[in-house]
Amino acid sequence: MKFIHIADMHFDVPFTVLNNRNKLGEKRRLEQREALRKVINYIKENNIEYLFIAGDLYENEYIRQRTIEYINNLFKEIPNTKIYITPGNHDPYLQDSYYKNFNWNNNVHIFTEKLELVENEECDIYGYGFNDFYRRSSELDDFSIKNKEKINILITHGSLNGGTLEDMEYNPLNKNKLMKIGFDYVALGHIHKLDYNTEENQRIVYPSSTVALGFDEIGKHGMILGDIEKDKIDLKFIPIDTKEFKELELDISQINSEEELIEKINSLELEENIFYKIILIGDKNFEINIYNLFKFISKENIIKIKNNTKLKINLEEISKNNNLKGLFVKEILEELNKNNYEKELLENILEIGLDVLDKK
């Protein structure tokens, strides 16, 4: 049997950071639509029997009915494909959700928070999801597969082998337990990073988010194409997203003014279909105002600038001076040693304060 596995589309997410640059967030939402259309077209052209959507198809807080209608109309174009959706933590199966109240096409099956089995001729498909924005327990305790002679698939949304308290909030799953149960394929969502070929004969898979949502989602994004038999599995990752997010470091140690820095950034050779975060590094010779830089940057695909530079001065030496500047630096250094959580804020205060004191 052949299937497509996607997850974490997050339809109608605001893309707040992108909207800061000429309404790129609105364009990105159109690209989300185009991405799902590519998935559906691939299914049509290749006669794929199953589509698994492992949670966070949309953003519950922002989703619009016209977007749901767009999604469902695409599903109508593949009437012979069985579509299985499990709700995630961003699109839980709430009483007023579109999962519960919208009239989905008859080839769509939506799981709820209770583990459910759907029996097909060639495979048994199990699934469960979220009915709230958190899920602190799994449905797999004391669970056993009904018919081990068939292909058995689990679709769910959650954290696999998570080691933090936050992971425990989102359907915590244990890899060893899943393997012991004996699923032939586990279609997961929630982690936006691709994980499908990190070990031989891998059957527990994250397909990545279908469309990258930000700078914590570097690299290619798309879908998993699977061809599975009882004793054999063949998986292939197919990129869908036409854009990527990338980080680019820029050493400004030899740059002596804001004007020179702006010229340097505007002269960078950048790829057209990449969203960039420029990370400024090195020793700085002048005060850096990120907001002011953006006023004069001509390249629209530079989305963020992060200042990781250091002051080109000996703070320890200055703190030893018995004057206003020395006392100021000493106090800030003491706070930095005590409070690493506010490091960036304290460094900004230090930079601005020194600039003011130097002008006195």
CATH number, domain with residue 69: 3.60.21.10
Whether residue 237 is predicted with pLDDT greater than 80 in this model: the reply is: yes
Same domain for 234 and 286?
no
Tally of structural domains, the chain: 2
Same domain for 98 and 217?
yes
Same domain for 8 and 156?
yes
On whether the CB atoms of residues 300 and 22 are closer than 8 A, the answer is yes
On whether the CB atoms of residues 277 and 247 are closer than 8 A, the answer is yes
DSSP assigned state of 167: G
When the pLDDT of each residue in the chain is averaged and rounded to a whole number, the result is: 92
Q: From CA 36, how far away is CA 242, in angstroms rounded?
A: 12
Among residues 209, 239, 269, which one ends one of the domains?
Answer: 239
Q: Which amino acid is at 110?
A: I
What is the average pLDDT across 249-260?
A: 94
Same domain for 230 and 258?
no
**Could you tell me the pLDDT band of residue 341, with boundaries at 50, 70 and 90?**
low
Whether residue 290 is predicted with pLDDT greater than 80 in this model: the reply is: yes
**Could you tell me the pLDDT band of residue 359, with boundaries at 50, 70 and 90?**
low
Q: 360 Cβ partners below 8 Å, 6+ apart? A: none
Whether residue 346 is predicted with pLDDT greater than 80 in this model: the reply is: no
Owning domain of residue 311: 244-358
Same domain for 169 and 76?
yes
Whether residue 24 is predicted with pLDDT greater than 70 in this model: the reply is: yes
Same domain for 266 and 180?
no
**Could you tell me the pLDDT band of residue 11, with boundaries at 50, 70 and 90?**
very high
Q: Report the half-sphere exposure of 177 (CA within 13 A, side-chain side).
A: 13
The pLDDT tens digits for 140-193 are 988 999 999 999 999 999 999 988 989 999 999 999 999 999 999 999 999 999
Same domain for 209 and 254?
no
Same domain for 78 and 195?
yes
Among residues 210, 239, 268, which one ends one of the domains?
Answer: 239
The pLDDT tens digits for 31-89 are 999 999 999 999 999 999 999 999 999 999 999 999 999 999 999 999 999 999 999 99
Same domain for 275 and 199?
no
Same domain for 18 and 90?
yes
**Could you tell me the pLDDT band of residue 318, with boundaries at 50, 70 and 90?**
confident
Q: What is the pLDDT of residue 340?
A: 65
Whether residue 343 is predicted with pLDDT greater than 80 in this model: the reply is: no
Pick the more confident residue, 338 or 104. 104
Among residues 239, 267, 286, which one ends one of the domains?
Answer: 239
CA distances from 154 to 85, 126, 127, 253 (A): 11, 5, 6, 53
| Nearest Cα to Cα of residue 234 among 202, 209, 208 | 202
Same domain for 103 and 171?
yes
Task: Confirm whether pTM is higher than 0.75.
Answer: yes
Q: Across-strand partners of 130? A: none
Same domain for 138 and 42?
yes
- Beta strands, E only, 25-81: 50-53
Q: From CA 124, how far away is CA 320, in angstroms rounded?
A: 73
